[in-house]
Amino acid sequence: MDRTAVRDMEERDLERVAEIEALSFSSPWSIEAFRKELRENSLAVYLVCEIDGELAGYMGMWKVVDEGHVTNVAVDPKFRGMGVGNELLSEMVIRARESNLVSMTLEVRVSNVQAIGLYKKHGFKDVGTRPKYYDNGEDAIIMWKTL
C-alpha cells in the first residue's frame, strides 16, 4: 500500500464520502445524513482513510453508554483489497478503547465474506443473526468484540 493516513472525517470530505457510500450500498445514506452526524451527533465518531491524499474509505461508530456501535464502513471499489478497511478498523478500536468503551458491535451482510474475515481478524465474534435485515431481504450477522 502507498502512504495511508487515517483521520477524523470533516465536512470537506462529505461529497467524496457520499460518492463512496453510493458505490457501496443499495440504500446509501445521503450527504445530509453524514452532515447531521458530524454536526449534531455528539456520540458519533467518523474516520476517513486516505491513500496518497485521496479519500479511499470511511467508517463510523456511535458511542452508546459503554459500547461502540459501528454504523457504516465503506471503501471505494478501486481501493478494496488494499488494507483500507483494516486501517480504519484498527484506528476505530483504538478510539473505542480511548473512550473507555468495553465492547464494539456491528451487523454485516452474510454474503460479505471479505468484511466478515476482517472483523474476525480484529477479534469480532459471530453472536447471532438478524433475519431479513437489509433492504433486499438478506440476513445480517451480528458481531461483538470485547475491548
For 23-40, how does the pLDDT look when each residue is reduced to its tens digit (9 = 90+)? Answer: 999 889 999 999 999 999
Work out whether the CA dihedral 66, 34, 7, 80 comes out positive or negative: positive
**Among this protein's residues, is 134 annotated catalytic?**
no
* Residue of 19, 67, 91, 107 with catalytic role: 107
* Residue of 46, 50, 58, 119 with catalytic role: 119
pTM beyond 0.85: the answer is: yes
pLDDT in tens, 76-118: 999 999 999 999 999 999 999 999 999 999 999 999 999 999 9
- Model confidence band, residue 2 (pLDDT cutoffs 50, 70, 90): low
Task: Please give the CATH number for the structural domain made up of 4-146.
Answer: 3.40.630.30
DSSP codes joined into one string, 40-66 = H-TTEEEEEEEETTEEEEEEEEEEETT
